[in-house]
Each structure stands twice: as C-alpha cells, then as structure tokens.
C-alpha cells in the first residue's frame, strides 16, 4: 500500500480545474412584455411629437414676424412671375440692372392700371347700384312674403329697424374699427416695400446669392442643399405660374358670365374671384357666393340662382380641366392633402396661411422627392433590371 506524501510547508496543492457550476443557473430578471405593435406606436408617437413641436415653433415664429414672412413670400412670388421677363429683356441686349427696373416698373404699372379700372367701374355705377339695391331689397321682401316662406311683413320691418338701431348705437365702434384698419396701412406699406426690395435682389442676382450660400456649407452637404434648393424653386415657380393662370381663367369666366347676366360690379367681382382662386378649393366658391349675394340684391333670386350654379360649373372646370392641364407638370397633390393643408394654414395663420399652405407643402414634397435615394432592386433582381419598365421615380401623393 502506497502512502501519500505529507505536504511540506513550502508545497502548494494545485487547485482543481474550473468546471461548470454545480448549482442552479442564474436566471436573468424578467422584463415586462411589450407587444411589438405598442412598441412601434410609441416610437412613432414621440417622433410625431417632436415633428409637431418643430412645426408649431415654426408657425409661432412666423406668426411673431408675419410681416417679414409675408413680405418675403410676396417677393418670391414677384420673382417667380417677373424673372423670366427680365431674362428675356436681358437676352435682347439690355443691361441686367435696367432690365430688372423695366420689368418691375411694368409689373407695378399693370397692377395700378387694374386697380384704377376697378375703382372707375365702382365709381361709375354708384348711383345705379344704389337704386338697384333698393329695388332688389324690396323685391326680396315681396318674395319672402309670398309662398313658400309667407313671412310676416312686420317681422321684416322689425329686422330692418333693429339693424338700423344697432348701427346707430355702435357707430363709435365702427368708426374706431375703421381707424384701426387705417393704422394697419403702415404695416401694409412696409410689407409691400419689403416685397419690392427682395424682388429686386432676387430677380437681379438670385442665382449668385444661392451660390454664395452653398459655398458657406461643408463640402459634403453642398450637393444635397443645392439639389434641394433647385427642386424647391422649380416647384414654387411652377406652382406660381400655374395658380396665376388658373386664377386669371376663373376671373375671365366669372366676369363674362356676370356681365351677360347684368349683375353690377362685374369687374370688381371678377377681380375678387382672381385673388380668391389663390386659396385652392375654398376661395373660388366664397367669391362666387359674394357675387350671388350681389345678384340677389340687384337682380333677384333667379339671377342669383344662376350665379350659384356657376359655383358648380367653374368648380368642375377648375378641378377637372385647369388643374390637371396647368398644375400637374409642376406639382401633383391629392385633393385631400390640399384641403387639409388649406385648413391647417388657415387655422395657424388666417388667410395668409391658407394662401401659403399649398405651395409650402408642394415645396416640401418636391425636396423630399429630390433627396430620397433611389429604391433598390426588388428581391431576386439585379440592379439593372426593372420589373415595371419605369424610371423608379416615386409618385407624389
């Protein structure tokens, strides 16, 4: 029998090799189960909150400095309309500065001529309008007294007297409102001056200003910013040209129809239709509703009903003929997107927001389309193959 050696004081025993733990394995703490749908919804929710906060902050800044925003917008509109004319004059051998001056003075003269024509039309029909409105109101009263309304004449007389008493009691309020409106004339003149000032520089050397801005950016970002800026300007100019053409066509149709119907103030109402058409889907019906009220007071319910019918006819022409032919090459937005944009713009910034909303959405979409990387090939296909034979360009909504 072999005896084991006694361990000397200097001898160390070799530790046994490490092996797997003999005890039960450690269990990690249980995590709460979050459904994938809820996790995705939460991720989208906080991103939407950030985007919404940024949009709200942008509108708040624009609302704080709305005169500057409106002036810049009008300057861009003038640039989009007049820069092609200035380029044409420059190609004829005229110096650039003189071409810009001639173009701007011609545009201002055209606007003043239209306003003078409207003022002359209103001033020349004042006496006739007063008589026609009185006769029209009398005919409306007689019409309301007959079937199917059968209103009591005393009720109509009482309504007229109440309106007169209200105006007499609140005459000071009306006067103060007019005075406050006159005080806003200074702001209007400041906005127009800013628009003219910016239009001069944008028309004269806008491309050089944009090139200087791109040169201030880091090298890798210049190409993306230049692509986005060119896409935005191309869309904005196309939208501006298209909406002006649509508005002018609507104004001509309304003016001719009101003239042949004998409705007074045909030229001012046509001008109102022109400006109202800059608010898509909403402006044109509102302007024609005003024309229907004038026709009702001056010519009676039959002519007013015909004018109301024009709302449907011109709406169909605008929606199914003018916009597809004129606007589709510049920007294509779904009518639902246009309606939501107009409503959101009007809620955020009133009539100015309603006018600016659609071109703003159009520009944002064009920039997104220009900066979006081309889609990769479908699974199982090579990069050179195209299953649909198209260019792969994403379609706007």
pTM of the complete model: 0.71
Residue 391 confidence class, pLDDT cut points 50, 70, 90: very low
Sequence-distant (≥ 6) Cβ neighbours of residue 224 within 8 angstroms? 371
Sign of the CA dihedral 266, 267, 268, 273? positive
Tell me if residue 263 falls in helix, strand or coil.
coil
User: Hey, where are the domains in the chain?
Assistant: 62-162+187-216, 221-373
**For 295-341, how does the pLDDT look when each residue is reduced to its tens digit (9 = 90+)?**
887 787 888 889 888 888 887 887 777 777 766 666 667 777 777 87
Which residues have CB under 8 Å from 115's CB, separation 6+?
none
> In this predicted model, what pLDDT tens digit does every residue of 23-52 receive, in sequence order?
555 555 555 667 778 888 888 888 878 877
In this predicted structure, what is the pLDDT of residue 315?
Answer: 78
pLDDT-derived band at 120 (thresholds 50, 70, 90) equals confident
Q: Within the chain, where are the H helices?
A: 36-64, 66-91, 96-124, 126-145, 153-169, 171-215, 219-261, 266-276, 283-299, 301-317, 335-371
pLDDT 10s digits, 341-367: 788 777 777 777 788 888 888 888 888
Residue found by looking up tokens 């026609």 in the block? 132
CB 284 within 8 A of CB 275: no
194-238 confidence digits (pLDDT tens): 999 999 999 998 888 888 988 888 877 888 888 889 989 998 998
pLDDT score of 162 more than 80: no
Q: How do residues 260-269 score in pLDDT, each as one tens digit?
A: 988 888 888 8
Would residue 4 be called left, alpha or beta, if left means φ above 0 and alpha means ψ between -120 and 50 degrees?
Answer: beta
């Amino acid at each position: 029998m072999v005896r084991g050696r006694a361990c000397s004081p200097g001898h160390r025993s070799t530790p046994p090799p490490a092996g797997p733990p003999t005890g039960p394995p450690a269990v990690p703490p249980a995590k709460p189960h979050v459904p994938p749908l809820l996790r995705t919804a939460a991720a989208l929710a906080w991103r939407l909150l950030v985007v919404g906060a940024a949009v709200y902050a942008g509108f708040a800044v624009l609302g704080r400095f709305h005169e500057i925003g409106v002036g810049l917008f009008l300057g861009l509109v003038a640039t989009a309309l007049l820069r092609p004319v200035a380029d044409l004059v420059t190609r004829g051998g005229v110096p650039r500065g003189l071409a810009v001056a001639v173009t701007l003075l011609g545009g201002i003269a055209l606007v003043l001529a239209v306003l003078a024509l409207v003022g002359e039309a209103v001033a020349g029909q004042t006496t006739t309008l007063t008589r026609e409105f009185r006769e029209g109101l009398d005919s409306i009263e007689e019409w309301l007294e007959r079937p199917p309304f059968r209103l009591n004449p005393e009720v109509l007389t009482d309504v007229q007297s109440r309106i007169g008493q209200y105006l007499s009691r609140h005459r000071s309020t009306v006067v103060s409102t007019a005075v406050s409106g006159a005080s806003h004339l200074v702001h209007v003149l400041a906005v127009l001056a800013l628009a003219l000032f910016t239009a001069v520089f944008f028309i004269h050397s806008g491309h050089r200003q944009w090139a200087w801005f791109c040169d201030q950016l880091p090298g890798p970002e210049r190409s993306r910013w230049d692509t986005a800026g060119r896409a935005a300007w191309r869309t904005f100019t196309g939208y501006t040209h298209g909406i002006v053409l649509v508005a002018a066509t609507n104004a001509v149709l309304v003016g001719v129809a009101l003239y042949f119907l004998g409705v007074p103030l045909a030229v001012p109402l046509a001008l109102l239709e022109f400006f109202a058409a800059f608010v898509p889907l909403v402006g044109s019906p509102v302007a024609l509703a005003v024309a229907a009220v004038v026709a009702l007071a001056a010519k009676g319910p039959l002519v007013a009903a015909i004018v109301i019918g024009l709302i449907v006819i011109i709406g169909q022409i605008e929606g199914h003929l003018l916009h597809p032919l004129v606007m589709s090459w510049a920007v294509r937005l779904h009518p639902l997107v246009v309606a939501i944009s107009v409503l959101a713009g009007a809620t955020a910034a009133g009539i100015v927001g309603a006018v600016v909303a659609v071109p703003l959405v159009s520009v944002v979409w064009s920039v997104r389309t220009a900066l979006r990387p081309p889609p990769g090939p479908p699974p199982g296909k090579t990069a050179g193959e195209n299953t649909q034979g198209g260019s792969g360009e994403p379609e706007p909504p």
